[in-house]
Amino acid sequence: MAHQVTIKDIAKILGISASTVSRALKDHPDISPKTKRMVQAFAQKVNYRPNALALNLRRSKTNTIGIIIPEIVHHFFSSVISGIEKVAYAAGYNVMICQSNEDYNREVIDAQALLDNRVDGVLMSLSKTTFDHDHIRNLIDHGIPVVFFDRAPNEIEADKVFIDDFMGAKIATHHLIATGCRNILHLAAPSHLLIGQRRRDGYIKALEENGIQFNPDFIIKCDTRDDVFANAGKILQLANQIDGIFTVNDSTAIATMQVLMKNGIRIPEHISVIGFGDGPNANICYPPLSTVEQKGTEIGKEATQLLLNQIENTEDIYKPTTKTITPVLRIRESTLM
């Protein structure tokens, strides 16, 4: 097992001091060209690599970004990670990932572990069970910048990156209207959830902007596959009054299409259906689902960029920004052209 060669090793072998080696390696002007060449050539030969642990301790800087995420196995979140990873890597940072599993206690421990390891910054999305934010304040108090994505606490001033749910819902509904729909059903998430509320508002706004009277009967709380089956009767009963459906997420849209088609309703000829999310199954279902792309990768990239700005601008006092990413329409075959 090969021992990692250190600056001291090089110094001893070359018969010079460690400080000279250190300087030579980083091209310090004081060092004579001859010494530099010698040291650099030798270092190369023995495959010298600085010990990151020692550097970290010395500089109190790790070039590592911490991530706290509710769950990794989820298309949206894994896309975010992927985006983070890309930008972080390009800037010379590593990523340390913690999964809270939607558990507040775990999130607290994760935050502490990242602090203990002196990560240079933290990107996080709150767990569903997090209502207290002392662990986050603790990070910030210790000078660790935090940027939130997707799920952020109102109580904390920090950079935040969101998808624009309102706009996404509006765009989706506009698309239905533009392709001729006039009576549009919305399958919604409960309105105590922010996304439920925002997407619902976007839907209503789009109707309004097109001079379509909003009909409260055309909103059903129904945001999971099972919900759709439970509400199948209600949906089918409305089927002959409507010509479009906007659902709060893709899996609801897909289940809805299945229920409708099973009952002889053709999509999009009789009813157009549009979802929200653009996960992998939007392409695989039948018919391929028109939907709104949630842009996880871009959210991850943006959040990381904001974090790096903060990490590298240590100078002045930082004014928190909130960035809103506008989702884009993915038109497939479940809506008319």
Partner DNA sequence: ATGAAAGCGCTAACAT
Partner DNA sequence: ATGTTAGCGCTTTCAT
Residues at the interface with a copy of itself (CB under 8 A): 1-2, 4, 49-54, 56-57, 60, 62, 64, 71-75, 78-79, 81-82, 85, 89, 94-99, 112-113, 115-118, 141-143, 225, 251, 254-255, 258, 279-281, 283-286, 297
- Secondary structure in 3-state letters for 22-86: HHHHCCCCCCCHHHHHHHHHHHHHCCCCCCHHHHHHHHCCCCEEEEEECCCCCHHHHHHHHHHHH
Please measure the distance between the N-terminal and C-terminal CA atoms of the chain and give it in whole angstroms: 65
Complex with DNA: residue 35 or 129, whichever CB lies closer:
35
Residue from 19, 237, 263, 321 in contact with DNA (CB under 7 A): 19
Residue from 58, 142, 192, 319 in contact with DNA (CB under 7 A): 58
Q: Which does 143 bind (CB under 5 to 8 A by kind): DNA, a copy of itself, none?
A: a copy of itself
Q: Of 11-19, 143-151, 169-177, 213-221, which segment contacts DNA by CB under 7 A?
A: 11-19
The string of DSSP codes covering 218-266 is GEEE--SHHHHHHTHHHHHHHGGG-SEEEESSHHHHHHHHHHHHHTT--
**CA 321 distance to own-chain centroid:** 16
Q: Which does 322 bind (CB under 5 to 8 A by kind): DNA, a copy of itself, none?
A: none
DSSP state of 280: G
Q: Which amino acid is at 178?
A: A
3-class state of residue 185 by DSSP = strand
Complex with DNA: residue 124 or 144, whichever CB lies closer:
144
- Where in 180-209 is the site for DNA (CB under 7 A)? none
Is there binding between residue 144 and DNA (CB under 7 A)?
A: no
| CA 128 – CA 53 distance, rounded (Å) | 35
Is there binding between residue 237 and DNA (CB under 7 A)?
A: no
Binding site for DNA (CB under 7 A): 4, 6-8, 15-20, 22-23, 25-26, 29-32, 34-35, 50-51, 53-55, 57-58, 60
